[in-house]
Amino acid sequence: MASRSRGESKLRRIAGFSVLLCIGGCWFACATGSGGPPITVEERTAFDRAAAAERSDPELAKREFESFVDRWPGSSLAAAAGMRLGMLEFDRDQRDQALTWFLYVVREFPRSEYAEEARVRAATLYYAQGDSEAAAALMSRARFSQMTSDQRRAALRVMVSIAKNDVAALRWLSRLRAEEIEEDRVILVDSEIDRTVRRLPSDELVSAADQIGNAVPAARILLVAAERALDQGDLERAEELMDRAARLPLASVYAPRLVGVTERLRLSSAHPGQFDSLPGLDEVPPPDTEGASGTLGVVLPLTGPYASFGQKSLQGVQLAARLFDEVGELGSDERFRIEPQFEGEEDLPSVELGPDGMLERPGKRTEAEPAVREGIRLLIRDSQGRPELAAAAVQELAAHEDVSAIVGPLVRSACEAAAAEAESLGIPLVTLSSREEVASERIQVFRVRTRPSEEVKALVNHAIEDLGAQTFAILYPDDAYGKGLRDLFWEAVEQRGGVIVGSVEYPPDSVDFAGSIRRLVGFELLTPGDREAIDAREEALMAARRLPPEEAVEARAEARAMTGPGEEPLPPIVDFDALFIPESHDKVVLIAPQLAFHEAAGMRLLGPSGWHHPDLLKDGPEYIRGARIAAQFFAASPHGVVEDFSRRYQGTFHEVPDAFAAHAFDATNLVLVQLADGRSSRPDVRGGLLGTALYPGVSGVLSIGSDGNARRRPFLLSVRRKGFIEVD
């Protein structure tokens, strides 16, 4: 992840530098001489003739400037001519020749008014060619005090790019931020600072802050260090870092984060050890959205292939906005049906709520006022799951000055398109995406769904602390999903001092898992002597079937106790306390009986949220009884906020809420909390979201990380014969 982000950042910088080099007007002054010998009339005439030809005939201008440099190499205008030649070559995409002329100006006219401009341009070209060392050597003699503001910003941008490490890059980013004047450019620098800080190992954070001193972003770096100390349970270190951060200047957008980390530290001190995993829902007060007033945009797939998920999410949004508390219960789901957009209409699909809180037919957009309850107004747009419509919806909603934030979209490609648009327009977007990357590279984008790493960590903590497991095995599909969760689980086990004793893959499209299971329990390691002993054991077990019941039990026990040569135990060898299977419920119902058939028994089964489905219990629930699974939402949870949500949802929509509705409900309430606290402007809402800590969502307690992704405590369920029960 970090290396890929680094590579993408480099490509973006190179592209940006190409634009910078193309902009000659903002830097290049008229040729007025360089403080050398007086300019003769002949020199001035020749230079002006070349300059006049630049736009109409660049080739002629190039020849004229080259002739000028050859004829008057010591002229006060020669430096200007060299700069013009460099720019002409760059415009012709002749980068090597452009570099030669910029270096000529630096070398021959080091004190001219063009020297620093030429130096930065030459360093930029070196960097674009991949020669960072040459760029660094050239910039080591840069005279920042002799540069204009534009030149300093460009030079600092080069220094960030050629920095040998992230700590050095942060030093230059700090100086660049101080030079920026326009707010949107400050935001971009802050975004790059955030990305760079996230890449830094924990042991380098404090050193980076020390090198920056009292300037921004030293406090921001110390805040991240404090958060990581909290993650590791080092409260004393976290408190020390927070004290330092509080005494330093902090960009206003991060002020709520300081408050959030301070609150987290306070709660950590009150509940030692609770923040290895976030506290339970009963340990934090319910959210308060009373008095919230404002307008929210909503972008969801309300028609098309993902409409069912979009409708569930929309109902969660509506419930959070309390649109039906005064209207009354809905009489039928039909009142929420969204018809397809009229064929031939060019306008973006638009969904407005009528005065009774019901969805109206989405035709051409009108100015009809959506439903308002206690000052909350929703502007709902149908993305159809299509990225171009999601981006257009964000653009249209952002044009409404009273829209404080947008909730959605849901589908991966639509989320990415909407996130890019929201970032460019500067409007907070709280997405319902499952992809962490959609938020991690952007400062306006947030994500509330549970991370796979959090599901895995919760399972491992529970298995070790509550079930006493110490040894683990993994049976996983050989695809990106399976291998990703395998790695996360392995890391979590080792961090808690457990041991992975087996890890076996199977093809993703398998329905027969016998080969993989036999490998997992030791059959692949058989010697010829082992095979003979197993054959003898199988014969003894077959013979036991012909005996009377009491004798058969004793015979089977003796057969299973048989050992191989050297008194070694025979497969199946289940030398692990728990088995993690990162799969969906439909595959687990095939795998579990085959585990039993191959006598791989006696261990606890562990599964991610993909197991949480009613169909898991339809066939052979005895094979998975007692399994522990992580869940993104559990409608039957006894926690107060979940009970209230489930009761209101079922009373309004006449169905049990699912994770889509729960996540949308939480995303909406996160914004409403900001509005209730008086944060109505987009920067204030963004800052408030960034400062969210220990928020009691119905899908679990969450805190928003510095990368915009929520840290969330998932539900832990145990599988019973007739259903699931919460065990956390």
For residue range 462-499, what is the model confidence (pLDDT) as tens digits? 999 999 999 999 999 999 999 999 999 999 999 899 99
What is the rounded average pLDDT for all residues in the chain?
83
pLDDT at residue 561 in the model: 67
User: For residue 56, is it within any domain?
Assistant: yes
**Is 303 in the same domain as 397?**
yes
Same domain (yes/no): 304, 444: yes
**For residue 114, what pLDDT is reported?**
95
* Same-domain pairing of 532 and 584: no
Where b means 16+ CB within 10 Å and e means fewer, 465-484 reads eeeebbbbbbbbbeeebbee
pLDDT score of 23:
37
Distance CA 684, CA 305 (A): 36
pLDDT range class, residue 532, cuts 50, 70, 90: low
Q: Is residue 85 part of a domain?
A: yes
Burial bucket for residue 264 (CB in 10 Å: 0-12, 13-18, 19+): buried
Q: How far apart are CA 253 and CA 177, in angstroms?
A: 14
Q: Which of 111, 146, 162 is the last residue of a domain?
A: 162
CATH number of the domain enclosing 333: 3.40.50.2300
Q: What is the pLDDT of residues 420-465, one digit of tens each?
A: 999 989 999 999 998 888 986 688 999 999 888 889 999 999 999 9
Q: Is residue 81 one of the residues assigned to a domain? A: yes
pLDDT for res 24: 38
Lowest mean pLDDT among 71-85, 171-185, 219-233: 219-233
Contact between 714 and 702 under an 8 Å Cβ cutoff? The reply is no
Q: How large is the average pLDDT for residues 386-390? A: 97
Domain end marker among 130, 162, 194: 162
Residue 178 lies in a domain: no
Region 175-194: what's the mean pLDDT? 90
CA distance 422 to 402: 15
- Domain of residue 546 covers 527-570
- Tell whether 576 and 625 lie within a shared domain: yes
Q: Can you give the pLDDT at residue 572?
A: 53
pLDDT value at residue 527: 56
Verify that 63 and 133 share a domain, yes or no. Answer: yes
Domain presence at residue 192: no
Note whether 533 and 548 are same-domain residues: yes
- 547 & 593 share domain: no
What are the beta bridge partners of residue 431? 447
Confidence of residue 243 (pLDDT cuts 50, 70, 90): very high
Q: Measured at the alpha carbon of residue 422, what is the angle toward residues 418 and 425, in degrees to the nearest 5?
A: 140
Give the least confident one: 42-46, 184-188, 331-335.
331-335
Domain-ending residue, one of 581, 614, 631: 631
Residue 65 CB contacts under 8 Å (≥ 6 apart), including other chains: 50, 81, 84, 85, 88
Residue 60 DSSP SS3: helix
In a domain, 532, yes or no: yes
Query: Per the structure block, which two tokens stand in for 471?
Result: 């040894």
Residues 609 and 532 both lie in one domain: no
Instruction: Judge whether 209 lies within some domain.
Output: no
Confidence of residue 36 (pLDDT cuts 50, 70, 90): low
Tens-digit pLDDT profile for residues 659-717? 999 999 999 999 999 999 999 999 999 988 987 888 999 999 988 876 788 888 899 99
- The predicted pLDDT at position 378 comes to 94
Beta bridge partners of 696: 701
The pair of structure tokens assigned to 669 is 């309430």
| Residues 623, 519 share a domain | yes
* 670: three-class secondary structure by DSSP: helix
Question: For 76-96, what is the mean pLDDT?
Answer: 95
Indicate whether 233 belongs to any domain.
no
Given CA atoms 374, 376, 378, 379 in this order, what sign does their dihedral have?
A: positive
Q: Hey, CA dihedral for 675, 678, 684, 688, is it positive or negative?
A: negative
Q: Which tokens belong to 510? A: 């398998």
Same domain for 541 and 521: no
- Does residue 704 share a domain with residue 578? no
Listed residue (124, 119, 125) closest to 104, CA to CA:
119
- Assess whether 400 and 532 both reside in one domain: no
Q: What does the pLDDT read at residue 101?
A: 97
User: How many domains is the chain partitioned into structurally?
Assistant: 4
Q: How far apart are the first and last CA of the chain?
A: 32
User: In the predicted model, is pLDDT for residue 126 greater than 70?
Assistant: yes
Contact 475, 482 (CB under 8 A): no
Q: Which of 70-79, 367-376, 432-441 is modeled with the greatest confidence?
A: 70-79
* Domain harbouring 43, CATH code: 1.25.40.10
**What pLDDT score was predicted for residue 272?**
55
Alpha-carbon distances, residue 726 vs 40, 238, 612, 615, 660 (angstroms): 90, 33, 12, 18, 19
List, for residues 674-689, the tens digit of each pLDDT value.
999 999 999 999 988 9
Task: Select the more confidently predicted residue: 133 or 343.
Answer: 133
